[in-house]
Amino acid sequence: MSGMKTMMLLSALTALFMALGYTLGGSGGAVIALLVAAGMNLFTFWNADKIVLSMHNAREVDDESAPEFYQLVAELAERARLPMPRVYLIDEPHPNAFATGRDPDHAAVAATTGLLSMLSREEVAGVMAHELGHVRNRDTLIMTMVATIAGAISMLANFGLFFRGNNEEGGHGNIAASLLAVIVAPFAAMIVQMAISRTREYGADAAGAEISGNPRALASALAKISGKAEMIPNPVAARNPAAAQLYIVPVHVSEIFSTHPATEKRIAALEDLALAMGGAALPQRASALSPATPKSRKSSALDPLRRN
């Protein structure tokens, strides 16, 4: 049902883009809008992960440069029956994490050093299991497509305002169309984008609870980092608001305009899952949460994991 709802909302977003193209350019404009949407999605299909990781100045790590974090992700990927994703760290105090990539075979997961310093090992496992849940559910591709089309709608609306506003022969009808394009279409796109993103977050929480076997660890992580994520500046989200949908917790205070469900509702859902799974965290295999044997004892951003 969740997948069907997502596809319906994605279709609605594409239809909105075409309708905006028709408003501004007639039937030809609708066709051009469809071709532009297809071209943009094709480009992001192949390049979204590179763009997102570069935007965050993420650095790739392995079992030598970040043994505990890398081994933790490897264990979780094995449990999820996923190919091993590329693993990245972001040197930022802002506590957050995300997944990207066009499919499970080309996936990457990333976490900030701020998140690793704030959470226990079990909580980090819950967060990264959530991100692998996005990978398994193929949310990374869906959300990339959504962000691309929503961004294109805003861009086309701004173009429509400029074009129509400078067309003196258009009269009042064109002015009204311009106002409709600039105000209604981008707002409608934002609503659809939020609906899709919120649906996928609940799905990733459930998948993360299943993969880690510990819903309460994920709930605890959400409780710890949600408030901090709103208070500690996130320079990437400040420059690119569309990036907000990538993260495990929102970076804006307002629930109405957030791309995520309210954290309290997500925690309540995870508590229900914990009860359904027996009322407590399931036993973990020793290799999952025990510290990895480092091949290098160099100091790194993962030292807080050792302390916790």
Catalytic residue among 68, 122, 131, 201: 131
The sign of the CA dihedral 27, 30, 34, 39 is positive
Residue 128 to residue 238: CA distance in whole angstroms: 24
Among 85, 99, 108, 90, residue whose Cα is nearest residue 127: 99
CA atoms 65, 286, 78, 259: torsion sign: negative
Residue 109 pairs with which residues in a beta bridge? 87, 99
Give the SS3 label for residue 179.
helix
Q: How many helices (H) and strands (E) does the chain have?
A: 12, 4
Residue 99: its H or E element: strand 97-100
Q: Is 201 a catalytic residue?
A: no
Query: Distance between CA 155 and CA 170 in Å, rounded?
Result: 21
Burial class for 189, CB neighbours closer than 10 Å (0-12, 13-18, 19+):
buried
Closest CA to 226 of 58, 97, 52, 69: 97
Q: Is 86 helix (H, G, I), strand (E, B) or coil?
A: strand
């309290």: which residue's tokens? 264
Residue where the block lists tokens 């819950």: 126
Q: Which of 106, 68, 65 is nearest to 84 (CA)?
A: 106
- In sequence order, the 6+-apart residues with CB closer than 8 A to the CB of 289 are 72, 121, 122, 125
Q: By three-state DSSP, how is residue 97 classified?
A: strand
Q: Which residues are catalytic?
A: 131
